[in-house]
Amino acid sequence: MANYKYQVRDKQGQSRTGTLVADNAASAAAVLRNQGVHVISVEPLKAGISESGFVKKLAEMNTGKPTQKHVLDFTSQLAVMIRAGINLRAALDGIADQTEHKGFKRVIQDLKSDVESGKQFSEALVKHPKLFSPLYINMVRASEMSGSFSEMLERIGAYIAQQIETRKMVVGAAIYPAIIGIMAVSVTVFLLTFVLPKFYTIFEGKEDVLPWATNFLMMLSKTLMEQWPFLLGGLAVAVGLFWAFAKTEMGAFWIDRTKLTIPVVKSMFRSLYITRSLQTMGQLINAGVPMLDTITITGDISGNKLFEGLWRKVHGSVKQGRKIAAPLQDSALLPKAVVQMIGAGEESGKLGEVLDEISEYYQRQLKDQIKAVTGMIEPIMIIIMGSVVGFIAMAIILPIFKMSQIVQ
């Protein structure tokens, strides 16, 4: 139970405020409506905490850019308040008061100002494309025409939550291999620049009898120690050039194609893009968004240039009056079974439901593939790291062992 501050208008048209205790905002609004009044706003009653000292410093630190987590929280709160009968302006005002993130609070206040000026909510969202995707805007626009605003917000919130979970899974799968890779490089550099130089006095002048591995590592060690500024500069230039190449159309296409061809991870990425594409399309179709707009948005949100090109091809085909499944049959990006189910959904008029079921199946498959990829990469990285360290250790120990035998 919590305290809620409310503002209502009674039967005589007079506005009054007060507080009451309820489980949530929806329950508080229901109690007030049972009293025969019109609910204007319902907001949690904030405790009187002084914004000084540590609390103030935390607030000042909270200056990062808004994320999709903020959008998810905003959408969920807005859905609850609209379902409780609170009008949109009052709901935005209440959410803005509760939002601690200064940047996102300004976004909500901007949305409120646009709504107060007479704009549709979807029109106000267009001004913030980095936070609200075309899918979000088009689903809101469709709900404004159909009158199912709160239900649509709940559907959008579920979609955003699913996308955040998927992103976390993919990023989580890459963290452990990245850590192992960094450790392998760090240990190798440490051995070459701090450990191997200790043996220079022992090995110098004996290069003719030393194993090739020892000579190679000594040359590599001296190069690292003497040329490290140029090596770091060259590495920085190489990374910068690759980053610039990745930003080009050709570079982005090459990277996206590579993701779908690397043996260990290609199945995982394929499931990711299929899940994202079909889930997006299913949500838009169920929301009543026009088919051509749905296909365009699906391509933009797919996250891969090859899939984007596929949906662009589908868009052109559908624009000419053909079925969605027709151009998909010639593509290797989607399994034949998926294309057949899409065709069956079109014929039965239940394409949205079929797409939801397919995306749920590939979502489960994606989770299994992430676990499998992680399980494969971990031992591979450990073997590589152990081999590198073992090679360096043997290159140092073997000549010392041979020289000790000669002395004996």
Under the banding of pLDDT at 50, 70 and 90, the label for residue 375 is: confident
Query: Which secondary-structure segment (H or E) carries 357?
Result: helix 351-407
Under the banding of pLDDT at 50, 70 and 90, the label for residue 407 is: low
Separation between Cα atoms, residue 190 and residue 196, nearest integer Å: 9
What is the torsional sign of CA 18, 19, 20, 25?
positive
Which backbone phi and psi does 191 adopt, to 5 degrees? -65, -40
Q: Judging by beta carbons within 10 Å of its beta carbon (0-12, 13-18, 19+), is residue 187 exposed, middle or buried?
A: middle
**Taking 70 as the threshold, does the pLDDT of residue 100 lie above it?**
yes
What is the chain's alpha carbon radius of gyration, rounded to the nearest angstrom? 30
Average of per-residue pLDDT across 184-202: 82
Asked whether the beta carbons of 305 and 250 are under 8 A apart, the reply is no
**Which of 45-49, 228-232, 314-318, 360-364 is predicted least confidently?**
45-49
Question: What count of other Cβ atoms lies within 10 Å of the Cβ of residue 99?
Answer: 20
* pLDDT at residue number 56: 46
255 half-sphere exposure, CB direction, 13 A CA radius: 13
- DSSP-derived 3-state class of residue 42: strand
* pLDDT at residue number 331: 85
Under the banding of pLDDT at 50, 70 and 90, the label for residue 327 is: confident
Instruction: Identify any residues that bridge with 7 across adjacent strands, giving them in sequence order.
Output: 17, 41
Rounded to the nearest angstrom, the gap between the alpha carbon of residue 370 and the centroid of all alpha carbons in its chain is 15
Burial string for 370-394 (b: 16+ CB within 10 Å, else e) reads: beebbeebeeebeeebeeeeeebee
pLDDT tens figures, 47-64 = 444 444 444 444 445 457
* pLDDT at residue number 224: 87
Q: Is 294 left (phi over 0), alpha (psi -120 to 50) or beta?
A: alpha
Q: What percent of the chain has pLDDT over 90?
A: 15
What is the torsional sign of CA 265, 268, 271, 273?
negative
Separation between Cα atoms, residue 80 and residue 198, nearest integer Å: 68
**Taking 70 as the threshold, does the pLDDT of residue 230 lie above it?**
yes
**Which of 317-326, 327-336, 394-403 is predicted least confidently?**
394-403
Separation between Cα atoms, residue 239 and residue 237, nearest integer Å: 5
- Determine the Cα angle at 265 with ends 260 and 270, to 5°: 45
